Structure 1
Amino acid sequence: MSPQRPRDSKVSRRSSIMRRSSLERRHFGTRLERKRFLIVCEGETERGYFVGMRTRGGPVLDVINPKVDHLGVVAEAKRRLRIDDYDEDDEVWCILDTELDPKLTEALLVKAGSEVELALSTPCFEFWLLLH
């Protein structure tokens, strides 16, 4: 049961309702657009690591594992960059193990060009994960 207001109160019920619903008192804000990262991995360990890094309010992490070879991962990243709605501020990364192969590293750099960033782990991502 709510307490009743005395009848001789100078504030009428109508004015208090109007005051609470006034648009002048509402705070208008804008939602900040979060940066998006497309992370294309070659293995399940990498995918699990980056999925685990997702946080509320942090950047948007789209993590995929196309289950193809090294050059196929880079090709998939470039394809997704073309067909998905990524802004110019968003970034596309490929996470790959190079296994100390200089020819593979050079081929990956040529294939990626300037559109796709590469994170090459040597000897493997699992070793890097154990060190950290």
Structure 2
Amino acid sequence: MEQRRRILVVCEGETEHAYFTGLRESDRREIHPFLPERAKRPQREKVVDHARKAKSRAEYSQVWAVFDADGHDVRRLCEQAEQDGVGPAVSNPTFEVWLLLHHRTTVSGRSAQAVGEELKKAVPHWRKGNGTQFAHFAPGLTEACARAKRYPPYSNPSTAVWKLMGDLGIEA
């Protein structure tokens, strides 16, 4: 008997959580977005730690940590997450790079503010946080995967969310 895949996605912020909740609702995947707690400051270590603890409980076939690099070097954090069986889906500077790649072939912004402004021009109805609607991004999902692969890991801008999508069976 084949075990059903259950994928936990631990999200750093409300934007990520809203996106993955919308993805789950749009195609009924066994994906479980989780937002540990709301905080103003970056909480990437907390997100990875929560994902690591969830992985140790074996309730999920795969656990991912989705967080922003915010311009910092997060290689060691990502390497440690992978060693612990957690998939790091880091975006630099922010998750909005991933969202923008659904609509544009490239991202020129290198700060969170600049990427947010680019995204707002591409998707005028987009709202950060819980206002993020997956329907605004669904049509460009496979294109976003292909575009994201072109950016070197950890560069600014870049996103590794395409790896998570591959684990979900969504690829370019």
In which range does the TM-score fall when normalised by the shorter chain? 0.5 to 0.7
Partners of 2:30 and 2:16 in 1: how far apart?
A: 16
**Structure 2 unaligned blocks of 5 or more:** 103-172
> Counterpart in 2 of 1:94?
65
Partners of 1:56 and 1:122 in 2: how far apart?
A: 26
Q: Say if 2:52 is the partner of 1:78.
A: yes
Structure having the larger proportion of residues in helix: 2
From 59, 62, 67, the equivalent of 2:32 is 62
CA contact (8 A) 1:42 1:66 kept: yes
Of the two, which has the highest radius of gyration? Answer: 1
How much has 1:105 moved relative to structure 2? 3.0
Query: How many residues align structurally?
Result: 98
Partners of 1:80 and 1:131 in 2: how far apart?
A: 30
The root-mean-square deviation of aligned C-alpha atoms, in Å, is 2.4
Provide closer, same or farther for how the CA distance between residues 111 and 36 of structure 1 changes in structure 2, counting only shifts above 3 A. Answer: closer
How much has 1:83 moved relative to structure 2? 2.8
Moved more, 54-63 or 66-75: 54-63
> Counterpart in 1 of 2:95?
125
**Structure 1 unaligned blocks of 5 or more:** 1-29
Provide closer, same or farther for how the CA distance between residues 110 and 85 of structure 1 changes in structure 2, counting only shifts above 3 A. Answer: closer
Q: Equivalent residues in 2 for 1:1-132 (5 A)?
A: 33-55=3-25, 58-67=28-37, 69-83=43-57, 85-86=59-60, 90-102=61-73, 104-132=74-102
The percentage of aligned residue pairs carrying the same residue is 34
TM-score (norm 2): 0.49
TM-score (norm 1): 0.63
